[in-house]
Every structure is written in structure tokens, then in C-alpha cells.
Amino acid sequence: MNKVDRLEKENKALKEQVQSLLAKLDIVMSEVRALSEENAMLHAKVKTLEDQLSRSKKNSGNSSFPPSRDLSTVKKNQSLRKKSNKKSGGQLGHKGMTLFQDATPTDIESHHPLAKCSCGNRLNPEDAKLLCKRQVFDIPPVIEPICIEHRLYENRCSCGQIHKGAMPSNVNAPVQYGPNIRSLILSLHIEHYIPLNRISSLVEELTSYKIGDGTIDNILKHAEKVFTPLYESLRQSIEDANIVGSDETGCKIDGSKGWMWVWQNYELTFIRAHRSRGYKVVEENFKDGFTNATLVSDCYASQLKTPAKHYQLCLAHLQRELIYIKQQTNNRWAQDILDLFSEAMKLKREAEEKDFPLDKEASFKTKLLELLNIDINDDQLDEIRTLRQRLIKKIDSVFTFLNHYEVPFDNNASERAMRNIKVKQNVSKGYRTEEGAQRYAMLRSITDTLKKQGKSVLNMIAYWLSCNNVNLSWE
């Protein structure tokens, strides 16, 4: 084989080798492209998960989330209150509660020494000297039931006319339970969240009465009928009030989502159960809104849409949002607004009624607008842009409390009224029917209002049930 043939053969072999390598390179490049695409996808997924993890740092201390949504890795329910230099426990001037001895005890038990001394002499009890006295306050192991029999008589006059006596209006059955025990049942169910079967057991132990669940349910239904005019009067009083705080919370009604709405102030509480969280609930209950009132609420659209004379946004909600922004971005802008809110709230706490209006609302609004107009990077957190836009739009509703002494700077009172609803749900896991949910809302409204006004729930409910008057009102 000459040199030319040999070179051609080697050249052909090299070309085949190159082709083979190029084919392998195509395969490798295809795999590289696939891995690059997968890598990009994984990077995007990691970023998404990081964002979600960042969002998961929201909790009840820096947002409007309830404590039940706090993650176990996050400190729950961070308080907005700052630590003071005061010691824990009762403060100077705090009025404590203690049990004092009664000058007229129900019974006296005397404890004398042995009648005979070791020396043999007898000891005369009349010569004994009182060393001390101690009193034990208790209740009977079983409350002794009472039964009042009402007898109706008639007289016939010599002229032939028949005259009948009159039964009390609240005595309308051959046998029934009186207003006191019915009031106790209502209190146990509404105030103390006790289910019907446990009420039956407790009442039997306290009074020896065996009251079934059906009877207790009938007692609640009768109370609802009696208190309906009172409930409507309560709604009207809220509508005419000068200050109204409002909030809503979710609940279970017949296994599905429902809502409890509250409208309240220092003296009144009105709660309504509804399937909806929309503005139509406000229209159904307060179609004209609150023309005389300052409405205190969070930034929920249905609340802000309600007609009112003035508005006050809940600063506690805004503070939690600002704390979240500060935690996520370490943004000085959020801290400056928090400091401005703290200054305004401190001014309100230290002022007395005679000092109002404080004439400070305009200056605080100006300071807040200056902070809101500072050029910061909104893109670093969506909540920054959202909060900034909301505060600019509702700037007239942030410092209303500085011009009105009765107006609070937060909506915590409404949230306290809602807390009872959540406790009830935790005990009973919801309401079986919409009628039952509304009945609880009605009776809870009445008991809350009585407490705010410093009246005895048991005594007032017993009195109203004994009146059996369909024209009850708060006036």
C-alpha cells in the first residue's frame, strides 16, 4: 500500500471518528440544555418557596391573622405593648378583692376544750374565753327547690254575675319552670358556653331537677321570642349612637362557612349571624348606616363602605402590618410611622376630656403624608405598596381619635366581643342551624350589653322572663 492510500485510509478513519464525536457532542449538549432548563426551573421554584417561607412569617403579632394560624416555629401572639419599668402584679392604688367576716353568721359552731383537766378538775364551758373566730362561706350541697302553686278562683254575685281572678301573665301552663331557673340555664349556655346535655347534668346536681335537652332548647326558644323586641331596641340604639365599632369573624353554621357580625360601643353590643360577609349584611341591619356616629373598624371594604359621620381606622391592625414590613425589610420607613402612631396614642392617653379637641389631627396627618411620600422601593414587598396606597386614600380616617375624646384609636373592643364567639365555637364546633346561630347572637348581645352597663345578667333576665312582656326595650 503506497503512502497516498494509507493517508486516505487514515483520513477516512479520522472523519468517521469526528462524526462519532460530533454525534456524542450533540447528545451531551442536548443533556446540558435539558439540565440548564431544569436548573432554571428549580431556581424559580426555590425563589417561590423562599417567598412563601417569607410570607409564612406573618403571625398574630404582625398581621391580622388570628393566633390559631401562627406556625409552631413562630412566637405566638406578640403583644404591641412595650415593656415598662413596673413590677408584675397589682399596682399601687389597685383595688383588690377579699373576703370579709360577716357580723351576722348563718350558724355558729363552738369548739370547747375537753370538759375535764388532767388534774381531775372539771372545766366549766361558761368560763371559757374566746380566743378567735374563723368563718367559712359556702353554699348548700343542693339548692332546695321551691314550688309555688297558683290557684284561680271565681265568685258569683247575688245578681248573677261571675267574677274571676287573674293568673300572672307568665304562668300559662299546668306545670312549668320559673324565671330564675330559666335565667340560670340561659346564663350557663350563653355566658359560659356549656352544651345542653352538660347543662342538664349540672342543673340536676345543683337543684335535683331533671331537665332534658329538649326542655332546655324550648327554654332558649321562648327566651328568643320574649327578647326579640329588646333585641330590635338594641339595634336601634346602636344605629342612633355617637360611636360604633364593628368587626366580623367566621363561624361554622350547619357544617359550612358563616359569619358573626358585631356592632358595639362602650354601653351596647349588637351581634348578628349571617351566611354572608358582604356589604348586604350591613344594608339589612343598618340601611342608612350611622349618620350620627364615628365608625371604628379595620380596613375591610364592607366596613369602610358603611355610611358614617366620621371614620377611625384601627391603629392596632396598622401597627401589626408595619411590624411585619419592618421584620421583612428592616425598613426605617415602617419604624417612623410606628413611632408617629405611638406619639399620637400617647397624646390621647394623657389628655383629659376637657382638653378635647386636641387640634393635633392636621399636624399628624401632614407628618404621615410626608412619610408616605418618601421614595422607597415598593417592589421589595407587595405589602409596602398596598399599605402606602391605603393610608394615602384613607388619611382622613387615621387620626380622628385626636378630635373626639370618646373615639378609641383601635377596634379592640369589637374584637373582645368577637372572642366570645370563637370560644363558643371551640367548645361546640359550630352551630347546627342558622336559626340556632342567630339565637345565640341575640342572647349574647343582651348579656354583653348587661355586663357593660354593670347589671346582673341573672337578675335582669329573670325579671324580663317574669314580665313576659313583648314590649321590652332598653329605654
Higher pLDDT, 377 or 125: 125
State how beta strands 154-156 and 162-164 pair: antiparallel
State the maximum Cα–Cα separation within the chain, in Å, rounded to a whole number. Answer: 163
The strand pairing partners of 469, in sequence order, are: none
Q: What percentage of the chain carries pLDDT values higher than 90? A: 48
Q: How many folded domains does the chain comprise?
A: 1
Residue 404 within any structural domain of the chain: yes
Contacts with 177 (C-beta within 8 Å, 6 or more apart), sequence order: 209, 211, 215, 219
Contacts of 173 (CB under 8 A, 6+ apart): none
Picking from 233, 225, 282, the residue whose alpha carbon sits closest to that of residue 259 is: 282
User: Residues 6 or more apart from 418 whose CB is under 8 A from it?
Assistant: 247, 248, 249, 260, 262
pLDDT of 174 over the 70 cut: yes
- Could you count the other beta carbons within 10 Å of the beta carbon of residue 98? 4
Task: Output the pLDDT for position 54.
Answer: 64
81-90 pLDDT, tens digit per residue, is 667 777 777 7
Average pLDDT over residues 247-272: 93
* Position 306 in a domain: yes
Does some domain include residue 272? yes
pLDDT tens per residue, range 304-345: 999 999 999 999 999 999 988 888 887 788 899 999 999 999
pLDDT at 73 over 70: no
Nearest to 64 by CA among 388, 415, 421: 415
Model pLDDT for residues 187-231, shown as the tens digit of each residue? 999 999 998 889 999 998 888 888 998 999 999 999 999 899 999
* pLDDT 10s digits, 43-56: 988 888 877 766 65
Residues 6+ apart with CB under 8 A from 266: 243, 406, 413, 452
Residue with the bigger pLDDT between 445 and 72: it is: 445
Is the distance from CB of 262 to CB of 417 less than 8 angstroms? yes
Is residue 346 one of the residues assigned to a domain?
yes
CA distance linking residue 420 with residue 376, whole number of Å: 41
Evaluate if pTM is beyond 0.85. Answer: no
Instruction: Judge residue 223's burial from the number of C-beta atoms within 10 Å of its C-beta, 0-12 exposed, 13-18 middle, 19 or more buried.
Output: buried
Identify whether 141 is part of a domain.
no
pLDDT for residue 20 is more than 80:
yes
Q: What is the mean pLDDT of residues 9-36?
A: 85
416-467 per-position pLDDT tens digit? 999 988 888 888 888 888 999 999 999 999 999 999 999 999 999 998 888 8
Is 292 part of any domain? Answer: yes
Neighbour count for residue 463 (Cβ, 10 Å): 15
In a domain, 100, yes or no: no
Average pLDDT, the chain: 87
Instruction: Tell me the C-alpha distance between 383 and 61, whole Å.
Output: 16
Q: Is the pLDDT of residue 8 over 60?
A: yes
Grid cell, residue 404, equals 373626639
Domain range for 261 is 244-444+446-451
**Cell representation of residue 396:** 382622613
Interior angle at CA 459, CA 455 and CA 464, nearest 5:
100
Asked if residue 390 belongs to a domain, the reply is yes
